[in-house]
Structure 1
Amino acid sequence: MNDSIEDPDAPAPGSRRPGGRTARTRAAVRDAVLTGLAEHGYPSLTVEYVAERSGVHKTTLYRRWGGVEGMVADALDLAGEDSWTPPDTGSLAGDLRALAREVVEGFGDPARAAAPTAFVGAAFQSPRAADALHSFYAERFRRCEEVVSRAVDRGEAPATTDAGAVVRAVSAPLFLRLFVTREPVDGSLADQAADAALAAVAAGVYTRRTGAPVTGARNKD
């Protein structure tokens, strides 16, 4: 096993944006976690597997990530640092359809869907993974709100439209089929979900109401 990419003095994930050897170590661990999730699922993912696959000694993995939960959470955090931007087709209808089709294309291909599906499964078994998954999608939806902002500027949606609610409404029926009822999804269902959200926008269903909770906020007991 190759320990050459280790950085024993590196800070814990999240304390600063790492670079150089620290970034390579984090990326290697992330890649190993993704592969392990795709091949074995969360319950069978082990520190030993990640150590062998990444070339990072398991003592370093325990010290920096604390175990499998921490590595899975950090892999999601790292995924959320990408440069993905929502589609810009020139119309709200086109943008919502493009967003819905991204969901279908991402989860419809078994090879591409294995790791992200395992992340969702991990969230049901690990509080840290659940928090990381929440943060990942909160950031994704935040970026998608630009789609609705542009639509308001073009006069395609009321100025008081809740952008977060709209973009969540597009993916919600698709995620229901993918992860709850385990039904197949395709392009026509993606378009249907987008068109339903678009009709709701036009009807004023997603207009913000005074005193309504902020979309995406987690309830705290």
Structure 2
Amino acid sequence: MSPSAPLGRGPKVRTAVLAATIDELSERGYAAFTIENVAQRTGVHKTTVYRRWPDRETLIAEALADSIATEIPVPDTGSVGEDLRALARSLVAWVNSASGRAVLAVMVSTAAGLPAPPLSARHVFRDRIRHTLPVVTRAIARGEIPDGTNPAEMIKTLVAPIYFRVLITGEPVDDNAADTAAALTLTAARARLFTDD
């Protein structure tokens, strides 16, 4: 966006700055990320950015949370099988997107010897797991999976094979990978693998 087209304040600025943050991470990476570059990309003065986000870690964490929440919505189809499949497919679409690749690059930066991402960035992923727990609790209430199922462990099991392929083996992921992860997770839940008894 050109500096000659001012954004003003409020939601438009927030949306533009968060989008520019993801773009900046995608193109330059975490180590080279600066608020000044985000401001220039957005077309606002850097003080406008600093007023809302006092440091780059705060800005990056909010941009990551916003990207994940927007691109991986929590489904509520009325069927745990459909919910798990929709959640896994949204995750696959996200990790294959520019914003998803940018976020994951931040999270694995230490593996490449780059500066470690802020702890707040890791909290984004923990918070996202927390937001998806209703998929499991609703399924328990409907009697689709056993009482006592651990929601967090079930969600982690759903996403783990997708992240493993993307981050460890470098294999491509698609809807088939998502559907397989969903089916395996549901089978494990019905076999009471996520309960203490």
TM bin (shorter chain): 0.7 to 0.9
Query: Given the two structures, how large is their TM-score scaled by the length of structure 1?
Result: 0.72
Shift of 1:94: 2.0
After superposition, what is the alpha-carbon deviation per residue over 1:185-213, rounded to whole angstroms, capped at 9, x for unaligned? 1222212211211121111110147xxxx
Q: Distance in 1 between matches of 2:110 and 2:78?
A: 35
Q: Distance in 2 between matches of 1:77 and 1:107?
A: 14
Structure with more helix by fraction: 2
Report the identity percentage.
Answer: 39
What residue ranges of structure 1 are gaps of 5+ in the alignment?
Answer: 7-20, 210-221
Highest RCO, 1 vs 2 (Cα 8 Å, sep ≥ 6): 2
Q: Distance in 1 between matches of 2:88 and 2:56?
A: 31
8 Å Cα contact 1:158-1:204 kept in structure 2: yes
Partner of 2:163: 175
After superposition, what is the alpha-carbon deviation per residue over 1:87-119, rounded to whole angstroms, capped at 9, x for unaligned? 23332222212211111122234x453333334
Shift of 1:146: 1.5
Q: Which runs of 4+ in 1 moved over 6 A?
A: none
In structure 2, what residue type is equivalent to 1:93?
G
Partner SS for 2:194:
coil
Q: Identify the match of residue 130 of structure 2 among 136, 139, 142.
A: 142
Question: CA distance change for structure 1 residues 94 and 62 in 2, over 3 Å: closer, same or farther?
Answer: closer
1:57 aligns with 2:38: no
Say what the alpha-carbon RMSD is for the aligned residues. 2.9
After superposition, what is the alpha-carbon deviation per residue over 1:118-150, rounded to whole angstroms, capped at 9, x for unaligned? 34345873442x32332x223322232222122
In structure 1, what residue type is equivalent to 2:100?
A
Q: Identify the match of residue 31 of structure 1 among 19, 32, 39.
A: 19
Q: Identify the match of residue 120 of structure 1 among 107, 115, 127.
A: 107
1:133 aligns with 2:126: no
* Equivalent residue pairs, number: 192
8 Å Cα contact 2:22-2:99 kept in structure 1: no
Query: Given the two structures, how large is their TM-score scaled by the length of structure 2?
Result: 0.79
